[in-house]
Structure formats: structure tokens, C-alpha cells
Amino acid sequence: MTTITIEKTDTMPQLESIIQNDGSFFDLIIIGAGPAGLTAALYAGRARLKTLIIEKALIGGMAATTDRIENYPGFPEGISGMDLSHKFEEAVRKLEIPIYYGDVTTISRDRSIIIEGKKIKAKAIIIASGTETKKLGVEGEDRLRGRGISYCATCDGPFYRDKNIAVAGGGNSAVEEAIYLTRFAKKVSIIHRREKLRADKILVERALNDPKIFMIWDSIIEKIEGEKRVEALSLYNNATKIKTKIPMEGLFIYVGRTPNSSFAKEVVNTNKNGFIKTDQEMKTSVPGIFACGDVISKSLWQIVTATGEGAVAAESARKFIEEEYSDNAKKTITA
């Protein structure tokens, strides 16, 4: 798998200086700088909340690795995920909100987080930590990761020029990325476990009409074969019950996503798959902790829903802080 790592540079805010300059107490900490987190920051900044964003990998999150986004309003010609992410980021930078690169390991009910062994407190927290790609879970996947197996077409697609490759999955990600990969590959086979794609109809039409895309229906990948690199896939056809082995030079895996919620799941309620449960105001089960974007349990995972939820989460956090930390509230606590 292509892991996106960020090298810390002198121009990036250092944790020590953030804690020292800001007294280690923030109004709001936002975990994740994807569309949801950045929109929450935009609204929080405009409400003049002292805000810190923490991102563990890439500003823009999954959206930033998408080649072309065609269903975010305002861009009738489409926009690259990276360009859209830069626009989201620019708005936040203008408000001088620090973005710190780091991995939050724990959050607590008292609205503090642990990062790099240090505790940072806030009056409210918004979890917008998104998802990561799910593994297929078959033999050969771990061993050949980065050697013919990839989870990021925009990162690794150019390495597969004129190659015969496959994409596992049948959702929007699999079909969108298969279409993108036709720019480089000689042939792209979509291997799907059913005979009907889950992806949006407009994408399905495009894929089925693409001369470089071939469908392998009703098929499960049982094993990824190869000594040093991916050489073949062992398939089992659910309909015919026949096993086959097909030569393949690369495999991109897009079989769904898992939420980045492990640091929070002992604290806030999640569904059985780890997606965080929220109400319409983006409140989690813990007062003062909110969640938005792909990490929450919902029915539509889109940039447009993530940004809307980010705005709602920030507004709910603002209200919570105002109510909880108003002079009246303090009097009630101390009375």
C-alpha cells in the first residue's frame, strides 16, 4: 500500500510551540483535515473559537486522492480532489488556524486528547478522522503490498503503464478508479463478487462503455499469487463454482472503507463496524464531543454531506462551549 507520510519541516507548527503559545487549552480540537474537518474549522474560525486541527496524513483526506470530483456543486467541469482540498485548506489558513500533523492515540470524556504522549485539552472536540481502505483479507495481500498491490490509484496508477491490471470491488471507488486507471493500463478488469455493480449509474455506464475495461462478474479473489510481484489471481466464480487462475500484473483494492475511530471507540458509541453514532446536530454519546464526515454512521458518504456535517458540528460545538462555559454555567457549577 502506498502510505502517505508527511515529513515534518520547520515551517510546520511544532507541538511544543502550539502548546506553549496557546497554553495547551483550546476551545476546539478538530481531529482530521478532510472536507468535514476543514469545513468545521472554517465555521469555528469565523465564530472566533480558538481551534487546533490535527491531521495524521494528508490534508483533504480521501478526497485529495481522488482524480476528478464531479459531484461537488459549483464545479460543472469537475475539479481534481487535490485542487478542491487546497481550496478548503486556503480558507482555513486565512483564519490562521494551526494544522498540526500527528496521530491522536486517545481521547477522553474530559475532552482532552493524547498526541505524541502529550495531553492537550479543549472545551470541545470534533472527530472528523474519516476512513481508510479496507483490506481484502486474502493470501498474498500483505506480502505483495506495494509490489503490485495498491489501495491508491492516483498515487500508483502511473506505475502501471501498458500493464494488465485488475480492480477489486464494485462500489463508486472501484469503478471510478478503474476508469482513471485506463489512462495508464493496457487493460483494466473489474472483479466483482456479484453480477451488478453498486456504483452510481453514471459511473457504471462509463465503465461498461470503456473499451479498456473488462468485467469479471460473480468472482471472489481467493489468492494473490507471485514471487516478488503480483503475477496472477486465483478466482472462484460464485455462479459457475469454477476456480480459475488469471495472469495479472497489478491489483487495486477498493472493497469498502473502515472508520478511523479506534482512538475513540472506548469513549463514544459506535455501530458494529466502528462508525461513530451521532444525532442530527453531530453530537456523539459524550457531551462536548462531536463527529462528522466519513467516520460517522450514515447513509450517504460524499464530500457534500461531509462539508454540511462539518458546519453543523462546528455550530453545535460553539453552542456547547457558550452554554457550558458561560458565566451563568460557571456560577451554577461553583454555587
Residues engaged in binding ligand NAP (CB under 6 A) = 71, 136, 168-174, 176, 193-194, 198, 254-257, 301-302
| Residue of 22, 155, 200, 218 with catalytic role | 155
Conformation bin of residue 308: beta by default, left when phi > 0, alpha when psi is -120 to 50: alpha
Q: Which is nearer to ligand NAP, 174 or 289 (CB)?
A: 174
| Residue of 156, 162, 200, 210 with catalytic role | 156
Give the separation between CA 117 and CA 122, rounded to whole angstroms.
16
C-alpha torsion 314→315→316→322, nearest 10: 110
| Residue of 152, 162, 210, 294 with catalytic role | 152
Query: How near is the Cβ of 201 to ligand NAP at its closest, in Å?
Result: 12
| Cβ 15 vs Cβ 118: under 8 Å | yes
The verdict on whether 83 is a catalytic residue reads no
The verdict on whether 292 is a catalytic residue reads no
Q: Which is nearer to ligand NAP, 67 or 281 (CB)?
A: 67
Q: Which is nearer to ligand NAP, 24 or 75 (CB)?
A: 75
The number of beta carbons lying within 10 Å of the beta carbon of residue 235 is 21
- Angle among Cα 100, 53, 41 to the nearest 5 degrees reads 145
Q: Which is nearer to ligand NAP, 29 or 221 (CB)?
A: 221
| Cβ 293 vs Cβ 34: under 8 Å | yes
Give the separation between CA 82 and CA 274, rounded to whole angstroms.
27
Query: How near is the Cβ of 250 to ligand NAP at its closest, in Å?
Result: 17
Cell of 198: 453498486
Residue with cell 469503478: 175
Query: How near is the Cβ of 256 to ligand NAP at its closest, in Å?
Result: 4
| Cβ 212 vs Cβ 196: under 8 Å | no
Give the separation between CA 321 and CA 319, rounded to whole angstroms.
5
- Nearest of 81, 94, 89 to residue 153 by alpha carbon: 81
Give the separation between CA 265 and CA 324, rounded to whole angstroms.
24
Query: How near is the Cβ of 269 to ligand NAP at its closest, in Å?
Result: 21
Give the separation between CA 265 and CA 106, rounded to whole angstroms.
9
The verdict on whether 155 is a catalytic residue reads yes
Give the residue nearest to ligand NAP (CB). 171
Q: Which is nearer to ligand NAP, 145 or 257 (CB)?
A: 257
Give the separation between CA 16 and CA 182, rounded to whole angstroms.
46
Query: How near is the Cβ of 310 to ligand NAP at its closest, in Å?
Result: 16
Query: How near is the Cβ of 274 to ligand NAP at its closest, in Å?
Result: 14
- Nearest of 100, 52, 60 to residue 80 by alpha carbon: 60
Q: Which is nearer to ligand NAP, 144 or 174 (CB)?
A: 174
Active site residues: 152, 155-156
